[in-house]
Amino acid sequence: MASDRLIVIGGVAAGLSAASRARRLNTNLEIRVYEKGPDISYSACGLPYFIAGSPREADALRVYSAEFFRTQRNIQVFTNHEAVQILPGRRRVTVVAQGSGPEDVHFTSLVLATGAEPARPAINGLDLTGVFHVNDLQAAIKLKHFLESEKPRRAAIIGGGYIGLEMAEAMTAAGLEVTLVDRSAALFEAVDEEIASLVEAELDGRGVRVCKGARAAGIFGDRTGRVRQMALEGAGEASLETDCVILATGVRPRAKLAEEAGIEIGVTGAIAVDEFMETSAASIYAAGDCAEARHLVSGRPAYVPLGTTANKQGRVAGENAAGGRARFAGIVGTAVTKVFNLEVARTGLSSEEARQAGFKIAAASVRAASRARYLGGKDILVRLIAERSTGRLLGGQMAGPEGVAKRIDVLATALHARLTVEQLGQLDLSYAPPFSAAWDPILIAAQEMQRELRR
């Protein structure tokens, strides 16, 4: 009789977290990880910084090798092996190795950690030399090589989300003239307009040209097939000259393999899972950028592809695939990024997201010093969103040159605890002049919000 076998499809954050957790719980379980690409266990979030030159070598982003997992954790990792079919009823996965034919592999339990893929715009010219995305390590290496060998002068970035903003800084650091094209009227839709305006001002101050409300209509090249121009719609001009195009138009879950196997796909387009990370098929779990998560503020399924969520979901999926009963509580959508010298963070629901979720909201914003001004403290803009009838905190956003990145975690904790704004304002937060003012910006924002709620 065949021994118990866990198969994990996907060898980055969620997949290897699942495999590692399963191994800790069950030392006798056979564990195989199939990754369709050549790389495993690397920091995808570090890719824009690699492009900018820190770190200088791609190997710095690699955490563990397949050999490490084989020798240190007794986990077999197969790179360049693509899973092309799942047969849930027969508990089999068809795997195709690069240069070989298909192989059917039996499993006792299965974790889908297939991640996300770039959402490519439906325009001509995506196959030209000089068009890149940066959603995986190999793509980032190709872009870095292009910058070093071709030495382009100008870059156009399509998309004003997290990756677009980080790549604007990275390409500027690489010495290029940068234009960022975003089809929405307000840049960086993850935050409210008041915060987004600070992001736009920072980009402008660093020489990045921003085209809002503009859509890339096509990319055109010269006789050698190299990018030379991008056509625009909705902008003040019909085209812009460029030597390089970065696609930062977001990602979508790689859920086709699951869908073709009859596994339920959720309302977000990602794989539907329960609190145990189990899919609609028994003993098949999903985790990471291919899976949904429950948003603890809205109570609805959400798709927020972040490395922190992927690692936690993978850990839960791996434990349960090995016979445990762990639960994944959910998310509040906490994220932080850096745009040149501006820290920008958010958690919970934005004003628009809260309205779409059915809340009647109140919002308040304050500017307050990150630390004592006599020690060089700079202003932080803090914005809170609350439910008007109850005062329950629904979300928060911050932007400023310092002190933002970890303060957002206070608001994230408050959301997990379902605190009201009044309770938020009573938190006993730390104080010393090098780190905060006597009244922390969060407490000042809570006071302002209470005044707003009384109106």
CATH number of domain containing 436: 3.50.50.60
The answer to whether the pTM exceeds 0.85 is: yes
Q: Are residues 72 and 137 in the same domain?
A: no
Q: Could you tell me if residue 326 is inside a domain? A: no
Q: Are residues 314 and 350 in the same domain?
A: no
- Give the Cα separation of 137 and 134 in Å (integer): 7
Q: Are residues 311 and 347 in the same domain?
A: no
* Enclosing domain of residue 401: 335-454
Q: Could you tell me if residue 327 is inside a domain? A: no
Structural domains of the chain, count? 3
Counting Cα atoms < 13 Å in the Cβ hemisphere of 298 gives 22
Q: Return the active site residues.
A: 45
Q: Are residues 283 and 364 in the same domain?
A: no
Phi/psi of residue 266, nearest 5 degrees:
-80, 180
Q: Are residues 135 and 110 in the same domain?
A: no
Specify which residues 78 forms β-bridges with: 34
State which of 249, 277, 307 marks the end of a domain.
Answer: 249
- Report, in angstroms and rounded to the nearest whole number, the Rg of the chain calculated over CA atoms: 23
* Predicted confidence pLDDT, tens digits, the chain (455 residues): 358 999 999 999 999 999 999 999 999 999 999 999 999 999 999 999 999 998 999 999 999 999 999 999 999 999 999 999 999 999 999 999 988 889 999 999 999 999 999 999 999 999 999 999 999 999 999 999 999 999 999 999 999 999 999 999 999 999 999 999 999 888 899 999 999 999 999 999 999 999 999 999 999 999 999 999 999 998 777 889 999 999 999 999 999 999 999 999 999 999 999 999 999 999 999 999 999 999 999 999 999 999 999 999 999 999 999 999 999 999 999 999 999 999 999 999 999 999 999 999 999 999 999 999 999 999 999 999 999 999 999 999 999 999 999 999 999 999 999 999 999 999 999 999 999 999 999 999 999 999 999 98
Is there a contact between 39 and 137 (Cβ–Cβ < 8 Å)?
yes
State which of 218, 249, 280 marks the end of a domain.
Answer: 249
Q: What pLDDT is stored for residue 2 in this prediction? A: 54
Q: Are residues 302 and 192 in the same domain?
A: no
Q: Could you tell me if residue 184 is inside a domain? A: yes
Q: Could you tell me if residue 123 is inside a domain? A: no
Specify which residues 226 forms β-bridges with: 129
State which of 249, 270, 300 marks the end of a domain.
Answer: 249
Q: Are residues 343 and 447 in the same domain?
A: yes
Q: Are residues 440 and 339 in the same domain?
A: yes
Q: Could you tell me if residue 125 is inside a domain? A: no
Q: Could you tell me if residue 342 is inside a domain? A: yes
Q: Could you tell me if residue 121 is inside a domain? A: no
Residues in the chain: 455
Q: Are residues 179 and 257 in the same domain?
A: no
If you search the block for the tokens 């890719």, which residue do you land on? Answer: 47
The one-letter amino acid at 37: G
Q: Are residues 243 and 256 in the same domain?
A: no
Peptide bond into 401 cis (omega under 30): no
- Structural tokens at position 322: 């090995």
Q: Could you tell me if residue 142 is inside a domain? A: yes
Q: Are strands 102-106 and 301-302 parallel, antiparallel or unpaired?
A: unpaired
Q: Are residues 81 and 142 in the same domain?
A: no
Q: The dihedral of CA 77, 285, 276, 13: what is its sign?
A: positive
Q: Are residues 399 and 444 in the same domain?
A: yes
Phi/psi of residue 217, nearest 5 degrees:
-100, -10
Q: C-alpha distances in angstroms, 405 versus 100, 318, 338, 342?
A: 47, 30, 9, 10
